[in-house]
Chain A
Amino acid sequence: MNHHRLKIEPAGRIVTASEGATLADVLQESGIPIGFPCRQRGVCGKCLVEVVEGGAGRPDPTEQAVLDRQNRPAGYRLACRMEVRSPLTIRITPEAALATIAPLTEGRRREVAVDPPLKKFVLRLPRVSLDDPEAAADSLLSKFSGPQPVLAPAVLSALAGFDPGRDETVTAVLYDDRVILAVESGDTAERAFGAAVDLGTTTVAVEIVDLNDGRTVATAAGLNGQVRYGADVVSRITAAHFDPGNLLALRDESRRTINALLAEAARKAAIEPAEIYEAVVAGNTAMSHLFLGLPVATLAAAPFRALFSSLEPLAAAGGLEMNPAGMIYMAPNIKSFVGGDIAAGLTAVDIENGPARALFMDLGTNGEIVLKNGPRLLATSTAAGPAFEGMGLSCGMIAAPGAVHKAELDGKGIALRVLGAGEAKGICGSGLIDILAVALGQGWMDSDGHILNANKSLLLSPGLALTQKDVREVQLAAAAIRTGMRMLLAEAGLNVSDLERIYVAGAFGSTMDIENAMRIGLIPTIRPDIIEFVGNASLAGAKILLLSGGERKRCEKLAGSIRHVSLVQGEKFQDIFIDSLAFQRWSQ
């Protein structure tokens, strides 16, 4: 099968497509944010692309009519109608680019046998007569061989709705082989969906999954509404700690965010929220406490202890907008601030079966790091701050349309690449790394982080400048992460050169330039092939946990076995931290 190399502008992404594949499918599979309002029927004309290089092919008369309506010269095609027949450079038109947030929602997938705790069974309830009529619940339970499941309260009421005089086909929703959550009329076995939720401090991502075959049917992502109460975990904990009203507000805000995304994803997949029977929520420790409306007093001061690690699944009723009889499973917290999102991430990369010495780092707001040294795992949280998610800087933003996400030198100076099409509105994490690497290389900034021009700022484009203060913020965040890595390695008695794999998770995903990240010392200078970008590993892990009861047990056991290291308990912390502030390569 022939494959072609496609370059997608304005992001500059390179993707590979099979001969004859529909361009729309290629774009969707690659996670390129483009909208298909008419579901690829060639009617709405929204998925318009410009063929900059390569064979544009020939539109059929229907497509041509749509293109003519839009007054497009030759060289424009509808992505849903175009087949890939040669190498191409495609430019997504502004009309086609999604105006909504599209943070990275793909993560590294691994194959997991689809055996979710939630299953649906089609049963026939036989008719009964006046002569010795069996109770409805008994008729239902008699269908289950082995240990009898327990009935959730709503089931009895539901059974009242069936006609005892007829043989009724019903579908029972069984959870974890233990509880019948609901009984539905008819055969609804095919309509069994679950939601994987990555409850991030800054961005929340949701994936709706078909529980029968494990397929993802829709995704949605957006900003966590809690940012109103503060950009970082500590400020939200503080708000909740001093005012119980704030605790409830924060809880409601996280639920509101998730519900909006669930509704959006459900719409995209043409399913009803009531067809979502289970949600797996993976968030850091603070996020998971706030989501459940639990007091955060113990997280607010040393020794920063969590209230829970693994939890039995909880009833969804009153929390998320899904089936009212549904369940919520929280990915287990590890210890202290290192939470379920990291446990889920470790599940996604299957760290236990990977190389013996590996490092997993999540470059989000909390900068968690896990070090595997054979059978022993160490974890820490570096509280890096949201600089890498674009917040706390004069010109920072999350990776959404308008964000400068790449930068490089061209003949005229620094060339910026902007997400979506259009003007640069701010800089996101990956863009920051590129810009700092260029500034360092060009001598605009020294390795101490000092900007060497009179204005003390790096002007990138009209109205967009990186100030000295911004650089200092990045230095502090990068130093926190670097210190975390060095201290964990020291604790384990390892050197950077002992590492066989470094997994990088978080908002950067595959858009981080490894070489630039090494140049500024964000990651150690090491053979690039050791580094694996795993994107939103928390979401990928949440999906795995949704689909497999066995994986949940493994995850809980793993989470419980990890030792948490507090960075500040060593006197060495300050020395290492101060030493880590400089933008320079490091390998020990």
Chain B
Amino acid sequence: MNDHRLYPQMAQAVIDGNREASARLAEEALAEGLPVQDIIALGFLPGLDKVGELWECGDYFLPELIQSAEGMKAALAVLRPALEKTAEGTVASRGRAVIGTIEGDIHDIGKNLVSSLLSANGFEVVDLGADVKVDRFIDAAVEGKADLICLSALLTTTMVNQRRVLSRLRERGLRSRFKVLVGGAPVTQKWADEIGADGYGENATAAVRAALKTLGKA
């Protein structure tokens, strides 16, 4: 039943950023007995993918992106209990991430977007906020048994602290335990390679792709 009539409606609800519709459609789908993984993969996620395209071509801007992410999260909230019951949980928890804006930097809108989209895509996210000290990232990742540490920086002058996170991980003997993603306006793939990060995304939707790729779930 890969072409159930509800699936396009779900995608549209996300594209429209319509939280009520998303939640309602999720409930309806569950009531009809549709498999929860399909509801997400065939119904809602295509909507989020379309939103990503619209954002990248300039049609959708920040407000729309945020609203759509909220729409997606509304669906996931309804689906979560059902997800937790499934054996595989492939989309349930695609991973656990710790995210924050690096020490010395107070910009957080970009980071908030990534956090939102990661949640919308099924990650469990702990958002540490902004001006987060290097060791706090690591402590939170250890405590939360995270898979990913995501570091955002908007200033070239604070970007250097991303490198410090990686060297601290090595010093503490924890480097192999986590995948480290970096992002933010001055950050580039070259920088990510230079400091030995595991992944990089040049915008919020690319960040999610990078997260999935580094965890081998692309």
Contacts and interface: CB of A to CB of B under 8 A. Distances in A.
Interface of A: 234-235, 237-238, 241-242, 300-302, 448-450, 456, 468-469, 472, 475, 566, 568-569, 574, 577-579, 581-582
Interface stretch (B82-90, B141-149, B153-161): B153-161
B104 interface: yes
Contacts of A300: 155, 157-158
Contact of A568 (B107, B156, B157, B158): B107
10 contacts: A300-B155, A300-B157, A301-B158, A448-B63, A450-B59, A456-B58, A456-B59, A568-B107, A579-B63, A581-B62
Given A300-B155, A302-B131, A568 B108 contact: yes
A475 B156 contact: no
A472 B157 contact: no
B109 A472 contact: no
Nearest to B64: A448
Q: Which 8 A-B residue pairs are closest in the complex by CB-CB distance?
A: A301-B104, A300-B157, A468-B58, A238-B156, A568-B106, A302-B106, A578-B63, A301-B158
B152 interface: no
Contacts of A468: 58-59
Chain A at the B interface: SS class: helix
A574 B61 contact: no
Nearest to B130: A568
Nearest to A568: B106
Contacts of B109: 574, 577-578
A301 B62 contact: no
A581 B61 contact: yes
A468 B156 CA distance: 27
A339 to B, nearest CB: 19
Contacts of B156: 234-235, 238, 242
A301 B157 contact: yes
Nearest to A450: B59
Given A302-B105, A472-B61, 20 more contacts: A234-B155, A234-B156, A238-B155, A238-B157, A238-B186, A242-B157, A300-B155, A301-B104, A301-B105, A301-B155, A449-B61, A456-B57, A568-B106, A568-B108, A568-B130, A569-B106, A578-B63, A578-B66, A579-B63, A581-B63
B22 interface: no
A241 B157 contact: yes
Contact of B62 (A234, A235, A456, A578): A578
B18 to A, nearest CB: 16
Interface in B125-145: 130-131
A182 to B, nearest CB: 42
B63 A582 contact: yes
B68 interface: no
Contacts of A301: 104-105, 155, 157-158
B130 A574 contact: no
Most buried by B among A234, A472, A475, A582: A234
A469 B64 CA distance: 16
B51 to A, nearest CB: 14
Contacts of B61: 448-450, 472, 475, 581
Contacts of A238: 155-157, 186
B119 interface: no
A475 B61 CA distance: 10
A302 B104 contact: yes
Most buried by B among A235, A301, A456, A568: A301
A132 to B, nearest CB: 66
A388 to B, nearest CB: 19
Nearest to A383: B107
Interface in B89-112: 104-109, 112
